[in-house]
Amino acid sequence: MLRVQRASQINGTVRVPGDKSISHRAVMFGALAEGTTSIEGFLPGADCLSTISCFRKMGIEIEQDKDRVTVHGQGWYGLQEPSQHLDVGNSGTTIRLMAGILATQPFHSVMEGDESIAKRPMRRVIGPLRQMGAKIDGRKDGEYTPLSIRGGELQGISYQSPVASAQIKSAILLAGMQANGVTSVTEPHLSRDHTERMLQAFGVKLVRDGLTVSIEGGQKLKGRAIQVPGDISSAAYMIAAVMMVPGSSLLIENVGINPSRTGILDVVDRMGGKIERINERVVNEEPVADLLVTYSELQGIEISGDIIPRLIDEIPVIAVMATQAGGRTVIKDAEELKVKETDRIATVVSELSKLGAKIIATEDGMIIEGPTPLKGAVIDSFGDHRIGMAMAIAGLAAEGETLIENDDAILVSFPGFPDVLQSISK
């Protein structure tokens, strides 16, 4: 159980763990590349450790010591047929991206995960992979795990994705890497583009044209050194902590500021908060900066449309900030929240209500009225890391003590979160 007390001030200098999306991709691409890939700043969270364990089960040698990882890549077809099921744990990124990789492999494999994974939709990825010629099955005609994949020769397709999802886009592009001809994916809004950037860093050629990415089959990856920046999705909790406690300020060093991820910075800016980007630089095709965050009184706003995929994982903590903002915050076009680790519309609304927030669920988001004084309560993370952390941040502004049950889930993306929070709270 995580205990959080009301804070009178947040300040100091912190670093957050490595980016989850980039850490997964560095291991996957390293395993498929020719030669060695050394990773610094890797996120040793449960999700990324699941990715490592899956590749080890396919014969790839991977050394990991905290945030340093060395992957001994054997080339795209250097994977061996796994003799056991591949356990993806809680990780949607692992199962969906691996589905694209396994669809190209000349062997049979089975992927499964935890209770949450068993409820998450997979046909959004399996459908287009089947169109390319992959033989994939799962419960309810491939909608749910376990997924059984018999890979082989694939044909390139032009796929119009109905949702802006980096996991769908990446799975198809990875399958397209070994398909005949060209594979292209078009999405309705731009989702995070770490796959595109990192494939290019590994020597792959792809073409980006607006919302379409195209890749030619038969390409090779070349192992290299990767430095992973801090995860802006983890920094979001620290930013929100500052905005919850008047008089606070914080320097967050080494944060990835890829424009497909910076919706949180734009939202805080529009709400009236102050975040200065210092020492901007580019590391392995990814923009990075230090963020100097200063408290200001926030105002409610509407958040909808193109920005949603740029902040999808930050919506729980944005809802928390909105409880302390003046007026109404409306979050729309975010039905994807329903198929994350939990139904995050339902879990954010139920848990914030326990703390006394004025929040209601809508079909595609939520509406929050503020500012509202919060009162400590017993909260459930429901096994969802982002719900656990968002509610801990709410606890910083709540009277008395807030208790978070099932806080182990936080290890999925932010090991050390309670210590970091403690170190910046007064």
Place of tokens 């979001």: 236
- Residue 35, by phi and psi: left (phi above 0), alpha (psi -120 to 50) or beta? left
Cα 27 versus chain centre, distance? 15
Outline where 209-359 has alpha helix (H).
Answer: 232-244, 263-271, 315-322, 344-354
CA 344, CA 329: separation in Å to the nearest integer? Answer: 17
Region near ligand S3P per CB under 6 A, out of 60-68, 165-173, 246-254, 272-280: 165-173
Is 47 a residue of the active site?
no
What share of residues in the chain are helix, strand, coil (percent, to 5)? 35, 30, 35
Region near ligand S3P per CB under 6 A, out of 27-35, 166-174, 266-274, 353-361: 166-174
Q: Please, which of residues 2-21 interact with ligand S3P by CB under 6 A?
A: 21
The one catalytic residue among 47, 193, 231, 313 = 313
- In the bound state with ligand S3P, the residue whose beta carbon lies nearer, of 196 and 336, is 336
Give yes or no for residue 191 binding ligand S3P (CB under 6 A).
Answer: yes
CA 341, CA 120: separation in Å to the nearest integer? Answer: 8
What are the residues whose beta carbons fall under 8 Å from the beta carbon of 257, sequence distance 6 or more? 232, 265, 277, 280, 287, 288, 289
CB of 287 to ligand S3P, least distance (A): 17
310 annotated among ligand-binding-site residues: no
20 annotated among ligand-binding-site residues: yes
Among 171, 199, 312, 421, binds ligand S3P (CB under 6 A): 312
Q: Which two tokens stand for residue 401?
A: 């003590």
- In the bound state with ligand S3P, the residue whose beta carbon lies nearer, of 175 and 357, is 175
142 annotated among ligand-binding-site residues: no
CB of 403 to ligand S3P, least distance (A): 26
Q: Which two tokens stand for residue 368?
A: 């929050």
Among 166, 221, 242, 396, binds ligand S3P (CB under 6 A): 166
Give yes or no for residue 167 binding ligand S3P (CB under 6 A).
Answer: yes
Give yes or no for residue 313 binding ligand S3P (CB under 6 A).
Answer: yes
Give yes or no for residue 226 binding ligand S3P (CB under 6 A).
Answer: no
CB of 246 to ligand S3P, least distance (A): 31
CA distances (Å), origin 149, targets 21, 172, 418 = 23, 15, 39
167 annotated among ligand-binding-site residues: yes
Residue 250, SS3 per DSSP:
strand
- In the bound state with ligand S3P, the residue whose beta carbon lies nearer, of 91 and 324, is 91
Question: In the stretch 364-403, what mask flags binding to ligand S3P with x, by CB under 6 A?
Answer: ----------------------------------------
- In the bound state with ligand S3P, the residue whose beta carbon lies nearer, of 57 and 169, is 169
- In the bound state with ligand S3P, the residue whose beta carbon lies nearer, of 74 and 116, is 116
Question: In the stretch 335-354, what mask flags binding to ligand S3P with x, by CB under 6 A?
Answer: -x------------------
CB of 263 to ligand S3P, least distance (A): 12
Q: For residue 144, what are the β-bridge partners?
A: 139
- In the bound state with ligand S3P, the residue whose beta carbon lies nearer, of 170 and 425, is 170
Give yes or no for residue 105 binding ligand S3P (CB under 6 A).
Answer: no
CB of 8 to ligand S3P, least distance (A): 33
Query: CA-based diameter of the chain, in Å?
Result: 62
Query: Which amino acid is residue 410, in one-letter code?
Result: I
CB of 275 to ligand S3P, least distance (A): 22
Binding residues: 20-21, 25, 92, 120, 165, 167, 313, 340, 344, 386
Per CB under 6 A, residues contacting ligand S3P are 21, 93, 165-167, 170, 191-192, 312-313, 336
Catalytic positions, please?
313
Binding residues for 3-phosphoshikimate: 20-21, 25, 165, 167, 313, 340
